[in-house]
Amino acid sequence: MQDVLKNKLERINNDEVMLTALRTVLEARILAEKPEVGKTDDNYLLGQKYRSYEKAKDILLGYFIDIDSYKKGNKNAKSFNKER
């Protein structure tokens, strides 16, 4: 990824209000797309609808985990222990 994009993600990640705003908008969109149960929906169709809905929520969680990795000073790797 380009340094300019990493820098922008770092800046967004360090702005808690911005992250909250993004999360709120994305969660509202996913909730608005929550599947409706129709009278003629069988178990298979209901399963498909709810799997896709749950997958969208998982993608959103992954999105914020990815953004969190750009937090300034965030160290994902374990530091080297000289005493070992």
pLDDT digits 0-9 by tens, 9-67: 888 888 889 989 999 999 899 889 888 888 888 999 989 989 988 998 899 889 888 88
Give me the domain span that covers residue 48: 3-68
Is 21 inside a domain boundary? Answer: yes
pLDDT in tens, 15-27: 889 989 999 999 8
Q: What is the DSSP string of 10-74?
A: HHHHT-HHHHHHHHHHHHHHHHHTPPPPPTT--HHHHHHHHHHHHHHHHHHHHHHHHHHTTSTT-
| CB neighbour list of residue 32: distance below 8 Å, 6 or more residues apart | none
pTM of the model: 0.63
Is 82 inside a domain boundary? Answer: no
As for how many domains the chain has, the answer is 1
Is 50 inside a domain boundary? Answer: yes
